[in-house]
Homo-oligomer: A and B are copies of this chain.
Amino acid sequence: MVTAVPGLAINLATLREQFDFRGSVEACARHGISAVAPWRDQLAKVGVTEVANILRDNGMTATGLCRGGMFTVMPDALDDNKRAVDEAVAIGAQCLVLVVGGLPKDSRDLPKARAMVAEGLAALLPHARAAGMPLAIEPLHPMYAPDRACVNTLSQALDLCDALGEGVGVVLDTYHLWWDPDLAAQIRRAGKGKRILAHHISDFRVPTRDLLNDRGMMGDGVIDFKAFRRMVEKAGYKGPQEVEIFSYEWWHRPGDEVLETCIDRYKRLCRATPR
């Protein structure tokens, strides 16, 4: 008999080296997890309809589709993002996660990149609204400003939301946001505006041995997950905490061990209140 783990979701990047798409969904189901976030390369490989079927057959909620964005670096960003919106609708995802892109090739003009992101979002939003698909801007840690996302604080993401109006919100990822001196105030602001669309978790290791693929399992780094979650729940968000760990270390461990560890750490370290 599987014990359900309500409140926990798994971003499937966490298991990308251990399983194919179906395998990762079935592994999550085996461990009592009922929410996952697929990636678009999985949809491209497996097929959108088949992904939707696999999710449905395993009773899975799709917390979000990862990912759209890259407004600063893709020549056909608008078309590609419209397709991403349609794919998110097709699999019943709760939002489309956006990693907005860093500096354009050979550019050092960060303000210009940021303006491109604002324009790209504004251009995409009508399509997303018509499709009923919320756009979730994910502010990334400042160390990713050059090459992944030039939206680097929650405040900056919420300013974009304010400028854009309805149909757009934010992903709160502990790894990207934990350090921010203004975090508490900005989470309150996000809650007031009903902007919180997802809550991702992974830990910040010391030392961090690789800028991209050394994210930590909760408890292996310096983040206070309970305190973070308390702020998130106080701001009105009750959705799942979604484990998203890019890690050479964890990708090399058996998938079932990774899931068991996620569940154990989530229960002990991440829930705002004991159950």
Contact = CB atoms under 8 A, between A and B. Distances in A.
Interface of A: 103, 108-110, 114, 141-143, 145-147, 151-153, 155-156, 178-182, 204, 206-208, 211, 221-224, 227
A106 to B, nearest CB: 10
Contact of A143 (B143, B153, B156): B143
| 5 residue pairs, one from A and one from B, having the closest CB atoms | A145-B179, A108-B224, A142-B179, A146-B222, A156-B181
Given A178-B110, A181-B152, A206 B146 contact: yes
Given A145-B222, A151-B181, 10 more contacts: A103-B222, A108-B222, A108-B224, A141-B142, A143-B208, A147-B207, A153-B181, A155-B181, A156-B181, A208-B211
Contacts of A181: 114, 151-153, 155-156
8 contacts: A109-B224, A141-B143, A142-B142, A142-B180, A145-B179, A145-B222, A153-B181, A208-B211
Nearest to A151: B181
A224 B143 contact: no
A143 B155 CA distance: 18
A147 B114 contact: no
Nearest to A212: B207
B146 A224 contact: no
A74 to B, nearest CB: 18
A269 B40 CA distance: 40
Contacts of A180: 142, 152
B224 A110 contact: yes
Nearest to A153: B181
